[in-house]
Amino acid sequence: MHPTTSGNNRTGTATAEEGVRAMLDANERWAPLTPPDTSLSDAERTFYMVESDSVGSIPPPVTIQGMLKTGFDKLLGERPEVLMDKIGERIAFERSGTRLYDALILKYESAFQQGAVSALPVPLNASGDSVASTLQRIRTEEHQHFLMLSEVMRSLGGDPTAQTPCADVSGVASMGLMQVVTDPRTTLAQSLHAVLIAELADNAGWELLISLAQEAGKADIAEQFERAMLEEQEHLLTVKSWVSALASSPTPTVAA
């Protein structure tokens, strides 16, 4: 190695070590002697939790048939509003998932143009499809799930465009994932990690929705959800394989 390069490396390492020592010294010097007392702030937050309204409420059925069905189910002791709230949550999540894959496709195309994914040691999927076509297929299936859920909501007398409480919370929770994927500074691997979080949550959400539909005696609806769940499980396995492939790549690229 050239002496100048070696000297620069040693200088950079020494500077970094000095910075770490300075931060540790400052922490020891200025850290409080006792743990901070958060009781006042905790009490303030608790007050707002007790006094605040809920995030929202379940919209009433938009059809007479839906109103009669909902009232009948309540007489039977069931809670159709819970099922409809969770359907609304999945509608919001699948809509966000479609947009998330739109952003991921663009991130992949950018990384591919830079040659960042051409040297991966293992195939990104086991189906034989190209990565681009696999991404597009998953995106299409996410959108199909959104359309199917919207139709199910209508069949129950609900409004698929309404923002149920769980749908509202789901939308807020998804915002951070979208910000990661659309950030021009994030790599393909970082974007895939965000999508992996979404897929894990999505699979758990479908499992719960299937269980609620079965408990409500909606066998036909549960079957539709189960078919979507099988596709979502494949999405999860595919994204996990992509994340693993990029993490184990011996050649650092802008994708990692």
2-25 pLDDT, tens digit each: 445 555 555 656 677 888 888 888
Distances (CA, A) of 252 to 13, 120, 189, 195, 236: 21, 10, 11, 21, 24
pLDDT tens track for 191-238: 999 999 999 999 999 999 999 999 888 899 999 999 999 999 999 999
Closest CA to 215 of 76, 63, 92: 76
Residue with tokens 């078919």: 227
Q: What phi and psi, each to the nearest 5 degrees, are found at residue 35?
A: -60, 140
pLDDT in 10s for each residue of the chain, 256 residues: 444 555 555 565 667 788 888 888 888 888 777 888 888 888 888 877 777 766 666 666 555 455 445 544 543 345 667 888 999 999 999 999 999 999 999 999 888 888 766 544 445 555 567 888 899 999 999 999 999 999 999 988 889 998 899 999 999 999 999 999 999 999 999 999 999 999 999 999 999 999 999 988 889 999 999 999 999 999 999 999 888 888 877 655 555 5
Radius of gyration in angstroms for the set of CA atoms belonging to the chain, rounded to a whole number: 25
* Token reading at 134: 């696999």
